[in-house]
Amino acid sequence: MSFLKTLIRHPQGAVGLFLTALVLTMAAIGPSIAPLDPETMHFANRFEPPSAEFLLGTDWFGRDLLSRMMVGAQSTVLLALLATIIATTIGALIGIISGYLGGWLDEGIMRIVDAIMAIPGLLFALLIISALGTSALNAVIAIGIAFAPGMARISRSVTLQIRALDYVSAARSRGENSLWIVLAEILPNVAAPIIVEATIRVAFAIMTLATLSFLGLGAQPPSPEWGLMISQGREHMFRSPWPIIVPGGAIALVAIGFNLLGDGLRDVLNPKSEH
């Protein structure tokens, strides 16, 4: 609780917390409170600006943008969270094990991690999606795999620092169970930097998902995923800017929210920045 209090007192952390809470709430209850069906086409009301009937206007098929944005929050945010969770789990597992065990195994794993990191993330995601087929879920898996090596690097370096600490060395020399050491001594200490990094990664994941949708490799129509909404809205942007402004604004808020929260968490969790 004291941690939350510190976070709320931190200006960036507070704003970030507020924005992410807002977005997560939207993802949770958006679909049930959306004013209109997100897929119903109002043929007579294409490209409407915001009005009493359509609060944020309509798109090229005459679909209500507010409702689409609210329903889309679910897929957009959950997909990004899922991608980050995949990346974090795989990365942390590999990084901690590799760092803890050390030796030739560590060396080998890190060479593979280096090789994957040397392939630009977006390109690697493109390759994986081409192999798995185009779908939102495959995009999530691809981003998860593409982001994992970065998380592995961070977890490993933190693990190495902690492993060298006296109390861990002591536990090792006492012959304590490796699994126990990892779970009890290393994991709690590695958690903080990993959470900070993961929070910022969510924003990256949303951007990458949107970019994949732009390249036609992410979510597919008629999904109201925000990146797809923007990329399709781009084709109509000279007839009406609203189909881009609405999901674009939403993405911007989420990205800023998770970035601020990540920065806040870093300052709060990282003793170096404490006054």
Q: Which residues bind another protein (CB under 8 A)?
A: 12, 39-41, 43, 46, 60-61, 111-112, 114-123, 126-128, 130-134, 203, 207, 210-211, 214-217, 220-222, 227, 230-232, 234-239, 244, 248, 251-253, 255-256, 259-260, 272-273
End-to-end CA distance of the chain: 20
Instruction: Quote the least distance from Cβ 270 to another protein, whole Å.
Output: 10
Instruction: Quote the least distance from Cβ 111 to another protein, whole Å.
Output: 6
- Pick 1 or 118: Cβ nearer another protein: 118
Residues contacting residue 156 through CB under 8 Å, at least 6 positions apart: 94, 95, 96, 98, 99, 106, 110
- From start to end of 56-124, where are the E strands? none
- Pick 103 or 133: Cβ nearer another protein: 133
Instruction: Quote the least distance from Cβ 5 to another protein, whole Å.
Output: 21
Instruction: Quote the least distance from Cβ 235 to another protein, whole Å.
Output: 5
- Please provide the size of the chain in residues: 275
The set of long-range contacts for 159-163, using a CB threshold of 8 Å and a minimum separation of 24, is 159/95, 159/96, 159/98, 159/99, 159/100, 159/186, 159/190, 160/99, 162/186, 162/189, 162/190, 163/99, 163/100, 163/102
Give the separation between CA 16 and CA 24, rounded to whole angstroms: 12
Instruction: Quote the least distance from Cβ 127 to another protein, whole Å.
Output: 5
- Pick 181 or 229: Cβ nearer another protein: 229
Using the structure block, give the residue that is written with the tokens 């970065």: 150
- Pick 117 or 269: Cβ nearer another protein: 117
- Pick 22 or 256: Cβ nearer another protein: 256
DSSP 8-state symbol, 58 = B
